[in-house]
Amino acid sequence: MSLSSNTHTLVDRFGRTVDYLRISITDRCDFRCIYCMSEEMTFLPRAQILTLEELAFIAKAFTELGVKKIRITGGEPLVRRGALSLLQEIGGMESLRELVITTNGSRLEEMAVSLKAAGVKRVNISLDTLDKEKFKEITRTGDLNKVLRGIEAAKKAGFERIKLNAVILKNRNHQEVGDLVQYAVDNKIDISFIEEMPLGVVDHERAEDYYSSASIKSDLADKFELIAISDNTGGPSVYYQVVGTSTRVGFISPHSANFCSTCNRVRLTVEGQLLLCLGNEHSVDLKRVIRANPGNLDKLKESIIQAMQIKPEKHEFNLQEQPIILRHMNATGG
Ligand code: SAM
Ligand code: SF4
């Protein structure tokens, strides 16, 4: 089959079809969330990161290989200059069904309307607390009110779906899970709770902060009736409907649930590394491929197809040990 045809699909050794790509378009961020970064971070020099053109070129190869959904993330994707034009370009790619974005919300107030116009269908917005002081503690540099105004702007812009992402840490924000769900219900949006993942060394002990999805679920049971629904994204999320509302609550539990057998996704870092698994180091250097073969889409596609052969069967995270994954989440593309 010609690699130029649009009928190729990406299948790994375990028979899993990869049709979802997450692209980190920057490792930089205007926040310094305690679970994601250490206070002092060194970011990549410009020469080391993919240009906007290179990012679009790789996205094109993936869509031609059957990828139907692309999530743009970071770092904070909306701090990259030119992010909007990149989104427009990817949003217009033939055969892509869904362009979605994950953001900390700091720039949504200004950008929500343009993002919708660029073809972004759904937005995930990180929000770990509704308490101004705690928000500052967790994000170190963020402004809660600005993010809340960003969420309002996203609602007005009319995305198909808005979902909040909350990383829950014991004794920092675990007491707030009920308030966060109530906020989602009041705003007719969805929310997912995420267990902290040991990616990179940060400034606290991961094991001490661990708060399980099971604990969150039992905390919520006092106030909300949740029924399991079958929304399956092929990822680590398990969804529930809040009875009597339009809100869905997701639990992303990398520690307590095994979702690897249905994994349908790969990640591209802004350095051009194709990561085959969030919890393993298996990767292929696509920047090297495109810089050695400028403009050669077939060569790039060949490398992507070959990369499927090293997608690991599953990940192992261990909170008690030093992280085996040295990259931070901002470099990984959460
Ligand atoms: N800056 C954007 C944001 O915060 O939404 C996009 C990138 S951020 C790395 C993507 C998601 O990863 C966020 O929802 C964030 O809360 C989550 N995240 C970051 N570090 C994490 C960690 N160590 N464990 C679990 N989730 C993490
Ligand atoms: Fe920035 Fe998102 Fe990481 Fe927070 S989680 S530091 S907002 S990249």
* Blockwise average pLDDT, block size 10, the chain, 334 residues: 63 96 97 93 94 98 98 98 98 96 98 98 98 97 98 97 96 97 98 86 76 95 95 79 97 72 93 90 94 98 97 72 55 61
Q: Give residue 180's Cα distance to chain centre.
A: 20
Instruction: Give the CATH number for residue 282.
Output: 3.20.20.70
199 CA closest ligand 1 atom index:
23
pLDDT of residue 254: 73
Which ligand has its closest atom nearest to the C-alpha of 31? 2
Q: Domain tally for the chain? A: 1
User: What distance in Å separates the CA atoms of residue 206 and residue 210, rounded to the nearest whole number?
Assistant: 6
Burial code (b: 16+ CB inside 10 Å, e: under 16) for 207-244 equals eebbbbbebbbebbeeebebeeeeeebbbbbbbbbbee
Q: Is residue 127 part of a domain?
A: yes
Q: Is 33 in the pocket of ligand 2 (CB under 6 A)?
A: yes
pLDDT of residue 10: 97
Domain that holds residue 134: 10-332
Q: What is the pTM for the complete model shown?
A: 0.93
Q: Is residue 111 part of a domain?
A: yes
Q: Is residue 4 part of a domain?
A: no
pLDDT of residue 334: 59
pLDDT of residue 330: 63
Q: Is residue 18 part of a domain?
A: yes
Q: Is residue 2 part of a domain?
A: no
The span from the first CA to the last CA of the chain, in angstroms, equals 34
pLDDT of residue 197: 82
Q: Is 329 in the pocket of ligand 2 (CB under 6 A)?
A: yes
Assess contact for 311 and 275: CB atoms under 8 A.
no
Which ligand has its closest atom nearest to the C-alpha of 165? 1
User: What distance in Å separates the CA atoms of residue 84 and residue 120, rounded to the nearest whole number?
Assistant: 10
Residue positions counted in the chain: 334
Q: Is 64 in the pocket of ligand 2 (CB under 6 A)?
A: no
Q: Is 23 in the pocket of ligand 1 (CB under 6 A)?
A: no
Assess contact for 241 and 226: CB atoms under 8 A.
yes
Q: Is 36 in the pocket of ligand 1 (CB under 6 A)?
A: yes
pLDDT of residue 204: 74
pLDDT of residue 1: 44
